[in-house]
């Protein structure tokens, strides 16, 4: 078995590559084909725990969801290189699911030849095991300053002998210039790989596009094979976790969930199910004014962080620490997940140079010490008896994943003085005595239907429903013979 390869390239980041790749994975799987996704290199702090040759490892969340759409078991070969930004000029390098310190410390331009053999081997293995591999590019393939070191776009397309779609975001304007300019900057042999242009996020009368698609085909020989209307409520997590009121379930808002959007925020995709709950609004919070209108029944969430101490410092600089404390003092619910849990505690202790030392927010009587080794695992556990805002979760069984260096425990001296951190999930979750502040290491909490039902009494669309909807949408706006020709 040697899989046919379809590759989705984009004129820019945010053009719609991840969405289209996911839809293609489900459409081809629905034809009875064995399908796998692939992205050579992903830069994201949204990661999932999946199978690896050593047991478990990390991949970008987009490839995790693409694998589920393809009805395949996610594994690290589907995203062999993951870059997790820790600062504007520095990323942790995860190779085949595991942190690689040597590559992390290697200059970017010297890294490509070291990692390419692993990328090629991963892609070859997936091709040998599947009928179709749907490949996602990164950014734009026409970045001429990067082409010589390319390991994610054209080099992958050549190695896979892939037929490519080039997608652009027409909502931003300049779509035809983006398509033509991208095509024109490619070498002739790579121009020939472009089988079709896709206009994504279109709003308006499609007849007004003429004669631009025809003129573009005259100049390039490439047809425009689809015009995809804007679709806010498709239900798939945005790769960068962006919340938008237009993408939430419609209806009257009766609860606001304010997520603190610090610079190194991570794993935002896990909040997507909340966007699908009727009556719930998710809100970015980057300044105290964003929290000013919260009511007692509203939540503040401190999500994961790729660099907890620096995000905690940023939070204080913005004055958000006082705003969070004021909400908690009024009895408002506060939830910290992973790095957010660590921030809620009394102190961060770092003796290995992993993250940095810092005083916590003091809303939970716990302390975190960073270990040299990272915990990367899938976890299933049950909540014990909870109180206050989170009481409805008592006894609920949940499954999720852990990705953290920090190890947290109750602050012994504070416990002796009567300030107790109630361990409501062994080694994973703690609650304050009043019951309105809780922190947990378990990612994926809101992806558990039992949790959503306990907290909201709500039934939300399953991922299967979302994937089927994506494939239906693709089939509605792109001819089936075009999809079949891509793998002919």
Domain boundaries defined on the chain: 4-232+466-485, 245-460
Give the model's pLDDT for residue 235.
73
Phi and psi angles of residue 10, each rounded to the nearest 5 degrees, phi first: -130, 155
Which CATH class for the 245-460 domain? alpha beta
| Whether pLDDT at 240 is above 60 | no
Residue 246: pLDDT band with limits 50, 70, 90 = low
Contact 444, 435 (CB under 8 A): no
Catalytic annotation present for 25: no
Domain spanning 4-232+466-485, CATH class: alpha beta
Which among 178, 404, 405, 443 is annotated as catalytic?
443
State the pLDDT at residue 473. Answer: 95
| 377-420 confidence digits (pLDDT tens) | 999 999 999 999 899 999 999 999 999 999 999 887 787 777 88
Same fold, 4-232+466-485 and 245-460: yes
Using CA atoms, how far residue 364 sits from 310, 361, 386, 431, 433, in Å, is: 19, 8, 15, 7, 9
Distance (Å) of CA 393 to CA 429, 434, 446 = 12, 16, 11
Residue 105: count other Cβ atoms within 10 Å of its Cβ. Answer: 10
For 212-239, what is each residue's pLDDT tens digit?
999 999 999 999 999 999 877 777 776 5
Active site annotation includes 443 = yes
Could you give the percent of the chain with pLDDT greater than 90? 70
Q: Which of 159, 164, 338, 404 is catalytic?
A: 338
The count of C-alpha atoms lying within 13 angstroms of the C-alpha of 122, restricted to the half-sphere facing its C-beta, is 27
Provide the pLDDT confidence category of residue 241 given band limits of 50, 70 and 90. Answer: low
Buried b (16+ CB within 10 A) or exposed e, 331-363: ebbbbbbbbbbbbbbbebbbeeebbeebebbeb
Q: CA torsion sign, 164 to 123 to 468 to 10?
A: negative
């Amino acid at each position: 078995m040697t899989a046919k390869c379809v590759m989705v390239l984009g004129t820019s980041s945010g053009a719609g590559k991840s969405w289209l790749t996911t839809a293609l994975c489900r459409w081809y799987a629905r034809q009875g084909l064995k399908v796998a996704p692939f992205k050579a290199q992903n830069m994201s702090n949204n990661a999932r725990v999946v199978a690896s040759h050593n047991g478990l490892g990390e991949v970008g969340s987009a490839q995790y969801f693409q694998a589920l759409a393809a009805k395949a078991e996610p594994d690290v070969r589907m995203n062999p290189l993951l870059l997790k930004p820790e600062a504007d000029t520095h990323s942790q390098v995860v190779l085949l699911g595991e942190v690689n310190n040597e590559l992390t410390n290697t200059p970017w331009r010297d890294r490509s030849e070291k990692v390419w053999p692993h990328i090629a081997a991963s892609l070859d293995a997936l091709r040998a095991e599947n009928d179709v591999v749907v490949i996602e590019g990164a950014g734009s393939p026409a970045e001429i300053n990067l082409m010589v070191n390319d390991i994610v776009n054209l080099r992958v397309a050549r190695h896979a002998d892939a037929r490519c779609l080039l997608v652009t975001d027409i909502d931003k304007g300049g779509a035809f210039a983006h398509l033509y300019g991208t095509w024109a900057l490619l070498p002739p042999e790579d121009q020939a790989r472009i089988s079709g242009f896709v206009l994504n996020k279109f709003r308006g009368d499609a007849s007004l596009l003429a004669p631009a698609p025809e003129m573009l085909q005259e100049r390039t020989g490439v047809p425009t094979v689809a015009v995809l209307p804007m679709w806010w409520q498709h239900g798939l997590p945005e790769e960068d976790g962006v919340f938008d009121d237009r993408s939430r379930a419609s209806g009257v808002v009766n609860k606001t969930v304010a997520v603190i959007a610090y610079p190194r925020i991570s794993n935002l995709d896990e909040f997507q199910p909340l966007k699908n709950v009727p009556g719930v609004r998710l809100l970015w919070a980057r300044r105290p004014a964003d929290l000013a209108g919260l009511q007692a029944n509203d939540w503040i969430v401190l999500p994961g962080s790729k660099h907890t101490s620096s995000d905690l410092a940023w939070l204080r600089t913005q004055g958000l620490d006082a705003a969070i404390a004021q909400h908690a003092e009024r009895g408002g619910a506060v939830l910290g997940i992973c790095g957010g849990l660590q921030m809620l505690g009394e102190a961060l202790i770092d003796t290995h140079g992993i993250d940095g030392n810092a005083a916590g927010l003091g809303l939970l009587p716990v302390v975190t010490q960073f270990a040299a080794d990272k915990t990367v695992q899938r976890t299933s556990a049950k909540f014990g008896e909870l109180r206050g805002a989170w009481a409805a979760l008592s006894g609920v069984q949940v499954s999720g994943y852990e990705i953290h260096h920090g190890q947290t425990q109750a602050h012994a001296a504070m416990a002796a003085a009567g300030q107790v951190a109630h361990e409501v999930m062994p080694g994973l979750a703690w609650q304050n005595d009043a019951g309105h502040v809780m922190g947990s290491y378990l990612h994926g909490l809101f992806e558990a239907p039992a949790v959503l039902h306990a907290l909201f009494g709500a039934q939300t669309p399953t991922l299967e429903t979302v994937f089927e909807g994506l494939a239906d949408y693709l089939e509605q706006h792109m001819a089936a013979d075009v999809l079949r020709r891509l793998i002919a």
